[in-house]
């Protein structure tokens, strides 16, 4: 029997994770769940949104299902910390970023695959005025630990940092700017991590029959970091003669998103660009209610919907949010551990409920979302789960 660390987090994270476990149980997945502490409450009470006891559990059991957390800006974080801990050097950091770094979960996979019949699917107008609904089947590989999100940044940088930067001739244009008026966020990319994410993308393409891998970067401007990734992609691609390597620039790719999204198979990018491109593609397949992800390291793996805690819906009872992103993340976990039949069974039930179109959460009805959603015909979170369970 597998042991899964269940990380509910905040807001709707708690709701969708509970529903996912209900679905996994109903599907016959034999597992033991250990609920672990993570998120805003633990920052406020303990000054740590990712307590060591939670890290220890994930270290030991290796698999985690994660809902979502709430992060707030620095000032709000300081204000909500319990009085007795204030001024004692506690600083808030995002627990999900912390998890990725702690366990080197450097491979982030975000599939964006349309479900037939989803009313939120992207449609495109044709020349003759009719519409077509291209089926999107794109899987984004996002480098998850480095790049612009590595956290190497300063406001009012210390002298040694400023001096080091001044050694680059391009810093001349900033030479008259006082230190207190400078903020610096770095984009550090390493060969090793680039190799890993690019190879993971090609391996996935090979295993799942995709014919192209696109490196989505900006090497014409970010000559060092994107340039290095492009060079590595060219090298790695030689080992996969049946898979074409395409390279696109992140800005152009976002523009092309609505032009020919069905052409893209696997896409690989640095942390921030992968974040951007995966949200872009998620928009074509139904948005945050459908966007699932896996964070994989060599030893641990954490599966989570890409949405956040949606605070504006957290107090709605019954909950109205769409649990499918969380369910598909659980499906990714089943695939990862080799429970392919169970994964298929759940995926097929979800697909059936969507295609049948009788049960839709508020987002699928294109409603604004609120306490009146149910009276306007939306299904609650639980009703959606029940419908999927009934199709198992």
Residues that bind ligand NAI (CB under 6 A): 12, 68-71, 96, 288-289, 304, 307-312, 321-322, 325, 363, 369
Selection from ligand NAI, Mg ion, none that 289 binds (CB < 5 to 8 A by kind) is ligand NAI
Under a CB-based contact definition with an 8 Å cutoff, are residues 256 and 280 in contact? Answer: no
Selection from Mg ion, ligand NAI, none that 136 binds (CB < 5 to 8 A by kind) is none
CB of residue 163 vs ligand NAI: minimum separation in angstroms? 34
Token pair for 388: 């999927």
Closer to ligand NAI at the Cβ: 24 or 325?
Answer: 325
CB of residue 275 vs Mg ion: minimum separation in angstroms? 4
CB of residue 119 vs ligand NAI: minimum separation in angstroms? 13
Residue whose C-alpha is closest to residue 194's, from 235, 144, 229:
229
CB of residue 290 vs ligand NAI: minimum separation in angstroms? 9
CB of residue 100 vs Mg ion: minimum separation in angstroms? 13
β pairing state of 2-9 and 63-68: parallel
Closer to ligand NAI at the Cβ: 42 or 202?
Answer: 42
Selection from Mg ion, ligand NAI, none that 231 binds (CB < 5 to 8 A by kind) is none
Contacts of 315 (CB under 8 A, 6+ apart): none
Closer to ligand NAI at the Cβ: 71 or 143?
Answer: 71
Angle CA 108–110–116, to nearest 5: 165
Establish whether the linkage from the previous residue to 318 is cis, with ω within 30° of 0. Answer: yes
Closer to Mg ion at the Cβ: 47 or 283?
Answer: 283
Selection from ligand NAI, Mg ion, none that 111 binds (CB < 5 to 8 A by kind) is none
CB of residue 118 vs ligand NAI: minimum separation in angstroms? 13
Selection from ligand NAI, Mg ion, none that 308 binds (CB < 5 to 8 A by kind) is ligand NAI
> Rounded to whole angstroms, how far apart are CA atoms 285 and 293?
14
Selection from ligand NAI, Mg ion, none that 70 binds (CB < 5 to 8 A by kind) is ligand NAI
CB of residue 21 vs ligand NAI: minimum separation in angstroms? 16
> Rounded to whole angstroms, how far apart are CA atoms 16 and 302?
15
> Rounded to whole angstroms, how far apart are CA atoms 257 and 279?
11
Closer to ligand NAI at the Cβ: 157 or 370?
Answer: 370
Q: How many residues bind Mg ion (CB under 5 A)?
A: 1
Contacts of 246 (CB under 8 A, 6+ apart): 212, 213, 214, 215, 264
Selection from ligand NAI, Mg ion, none that 47 binds (CB < 5 to 8 A by kind) is none
Residue whose C-alpha is closest to residue 108's, from 34, 40, 204, 235:
204
Closer to ligand NAI at the Cβ: 146 or 304?
Answer: 304
Closer to ligand NAI at the Cβ: 108 or 266?
Answer: 108
C-alpha distances (whole Å) from 117 to each of 79, 170, 350, 353, 389 are 46, 52, 11, 9, 19
Q: Does 304 help bind Mg ion (rule: CB under 5 A)?
A: no
Alpha-helical runs (H) found in the chain: 12-26, 40-46, 52-61, 74-80, 95-102, 159-166, 191-208, 225-237, 250-256, 271-284, 324-336, 340-356, 381-391
CB of residue 248 vs Mg ion: minimum separation in angstroms? 19
Selection from ligand NAI, Mg ion, none that 310 binds (CB < 5 to 8 A by kind) is ligand NAI
Helix axis angle, 324-336 to 340-356, nearest 10°? 160
Q: Which residue has the CB atom at the shortest distance from ligand NAI?
A: 308
Selection from Mg ion, ligand NAI, none that 275 binds (CB < 5 to 8 A by kind) is Mg ion
Instruction: Give the bridge partners for 68, in sequence order.
Output: 9
- The pattern of x and - marking residues 256 through 295 that bind Mg ion according to CB under 5 A reads -------------------x--------------------
Q: Which residue has the CB atom at the shortest distance from Mg ion?
A: 275
Four-point Cα dihedral 266, 270, 271, 276, nearest 10: -60
> Rounded to whole angstroms, how far apart are CA atoms 282 and 113?
8
CB of residue 13 vs ligand NAI: minimum separation in angstroms? 6
C-alpha distances (whole Å) from 287 to each of 63, 167, 183, 198 are 26, 44, 32, 26
Selection from Mg ion, ligand NAI, none that 17 binds (CB < 5 to 8 A by kind) is none
DSSP 8-state class, residue 126: -
Q: Which residues bind Mg ion (CB under 5 A)?
A: 275
């Amino acid at each position: 029997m597998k042991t899964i660390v269940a990380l509910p987090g905040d807001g709707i994270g708690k709701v969708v994770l509970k529903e996912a476990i209900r679905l996994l149980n109903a599907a016959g997945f034999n597992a033991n769940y250990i609920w672990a502490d993570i998120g805003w409450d633990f920052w406020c009470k303990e000054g740590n949104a990712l307590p060591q006891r939670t890290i220890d559990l994930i270290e030991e059991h290796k698999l985690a299902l994660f809902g979502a957390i709430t992060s707030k800006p620095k000032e709000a974080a300081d204000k909500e910390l319990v009085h007795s801990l204030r001024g004692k050097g506690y600083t808030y950091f995002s627990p999900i970023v912390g998890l990725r770094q702690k366990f080197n979960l450097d491979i982030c996979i975000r599939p964006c695959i349309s479900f037939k019949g989803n009313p939120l699917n992207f449609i495109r107008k044709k020349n003759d005025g009719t519409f077509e609904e291209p089926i999107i089947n794109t899987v984004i590989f996002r480098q998850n630990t480095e790049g612009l999100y590595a956290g190497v940044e300063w406001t009012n940088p210390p002298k040694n940092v400023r001096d080091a930067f001044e050694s680059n001739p391009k810093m001349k244009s900033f030479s008259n700017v006082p230190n207190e008026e400078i903020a610096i966020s770095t984009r550090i990319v390493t060969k090793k991590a680039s190799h890993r994410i690019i190879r993971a993308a090609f391996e996935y393409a090979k295993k799942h029959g995709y014919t192209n891998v696109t490196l989505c970067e900006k090497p014409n401007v970010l000559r060092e970091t994107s340039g290095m990734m492009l060079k590595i992609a060219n090298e790695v691609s030689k080992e996969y003669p049946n898979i074409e390597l395409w390279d696109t620039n992140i800005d152009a790719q976002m523009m092309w998103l609505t032009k020919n999204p069905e052409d893209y198979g696997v896409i690989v990018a640095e942390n921030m660009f992968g974040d951007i491109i995966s949200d872009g593609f998620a928009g074509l397949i139904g948005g945050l209610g459908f966007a699932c992800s896996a964070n994989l390291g060599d030893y641990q793996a954490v599966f989570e919907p890409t949405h956040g805690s949606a605070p504006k819906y957290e107090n709605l009872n019954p909950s109205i949010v769409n649990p499918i992103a969380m369910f598909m993340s659980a499906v990714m976990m089943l695939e990862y551990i080799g429970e392919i039949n169970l994964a298929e069974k759940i995926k097929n039930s979800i697909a059936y409920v969507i295609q049948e179109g009788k049960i839709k959460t508020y987002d699928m009805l294109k409603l604004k979302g609120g306490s009146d959603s149910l009276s306007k015909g939306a299904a609650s979170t639980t009703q959606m789960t029940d419908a999927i369970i009934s199709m198992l």
